[in-house]
Structure 1
Amino acid sequence: MSPFALVLVLSSAVAHASWNLLSKQAAKADGIVFIWLVAVASTVLWSPPALGYLILTGARLSWTGAGVIVASTALHLGYFLLLQRGYRHGDLSMVYPIARGTGPLLASLVAILFLGEHPGPVGITGILLVGTGVLLLGAARRPSRADLAGIGFGLATGLFIAGYTVWDKQVVSAFAVAPILLSYGGEFCRALALTPSALTARRRDLLLPVWREHRTRVLGAAVLVPLSYLLVLIAFTFSPVSVVAPVREIGVLVAVVLGGRLLAEGDLRRRLLAAAVIVGGVVTIALS
């Protein structure tokens, strides 16, 4: 992995863990309302950069490009809804590692089996270390009944992570859709798709209260969600999935610290010890 790609992916990991902290803090709010507010705010805030890109480059989005963005949106929508449900039941430092660990391992496996990527022995060792460390983090203590529900949603979330990771790599490479257009298009389509559910009679009355209580979290996530993934999409344009996806999981370390320090979730020492395995995996992959 090139130094530039490494900087992109590590920066993405920090941004990703940060917006997940915001999402966890808003977990008691209606999930669809919160996700819709974030998507709408993201669409508004990221319109100038997206329009600026189109004007400066003269790029045009084809019907094929629009279609693959819609498919990507469906995968991301499942991911966001399941993740928010997971945070209603489990700790940030429990759900996040399981979701983030399951996804990249499956994504790397698909990339190796079906996309013709062939990481060497060092790269494979790094991938396995990252996966082992993430799974150890998730099992750092005996889970409660609520944790079991969170773990279940975390595993389901991981399947969607694997799906959109592999698909979006093809969108920005094989279909040559610009990363910023994929990121912005995903936010716009997600807001559009959730509008009917968010504006039902039951949820309309929740919009203003959720916005008032979580306004800072909504706006923070609206900036960080597209930014974290845009950095990864840029790395995808010149780096393989089997390398980018596992290195991104350094965000697990950040999430564990945030969960332990800011949310008082406990087991910080044991979870950090397990997370140290991830650092070894990241270094190994970076040197492969």
Structure 2
Amino acid sequence: MSKKPVGHRARKRFGQNFLHDAGIIRRIIRSIAPREDDHLVEIGPGLGALTEELLAEAGALDAIELDRDLVPVLRTKFFNYGERFRIFETDALKFDFNELKQDGRPLRVVGNLPYNISTPLIFHLLSHAGLIRDMHFMLQKEVVDRLAAEPGTSDYGRLGIMTQYHCRVDPLFIVPPGAFDPAPKVDSAIVRLTPYDSPPYPAKDPVQLELVVRTAFGQRRKTLRNNLRTLLDADELEALGIDPGLRPERLTLAEFVKISDFLSDKQESRHNGAE
């Protein structure tokens, strides 16, 4: 169980809630199942509660920590690991994860992610999905619900669609507020994201797909006809077998990919015609 260093208080601006429940920590470690040859990366190690157990299993770890007051605490705590424990004092949202690739081993990313950065950080990591074997995150339960949401549900939206495009999403278990200090006001949950070697519905242009999904959910309560009118018209949607009167949460990932590929083909035809 991790104890707070004297004088260190959780910082609200960093969204800090320090995990201290030994039983939950062990359960997370069992879910990750770290091995000696793994390249582990922990985002926001905090006081090192998970770090300690991960290092005990794998023997090496890269940590990314923004709070400069915690960096010396972590360096002191894990001094005996020498160069096998590296800290990057930086913002994970701006960090280029390509910097960590030293050999052929994919990254295994772990983190207790603050609510205020969880969505942009997941999108940032998805852009590095080719480097990553898997990700295990502690998130607010509502974020995990959105990641795993199915079409037609209120939680289904841009975050879930794009994550499910790149990764298999496995919600693992719920973590109660009492496992943290200070205790948050809501339940948290552990989720495993496993990037696909090849997406089940590969888009011709993933950037185009991201644009389609973002535009479709620009005004969630409006129909596809309204939200996508800058990209394609109702007749074109109908030609794809998609009802333009539907709201965006009714479409499957495969249907979003179908729209994206249509637009990619349309752009390519225009380009070829202009040559």
Q: TM-score, normalised by structure 1?
A: 0.24
Structure (1/2) with the larger helix percentage: 1
Higher relative contact order (CA closer than 8 Å, sequence separation 6+): 1
Select the structure of larger CA radius of gyration. Answer: 2
Q: TM-score, normalised by structure 2?
A: 0.24
Structure (1/2) with the larger strand percentage: 2
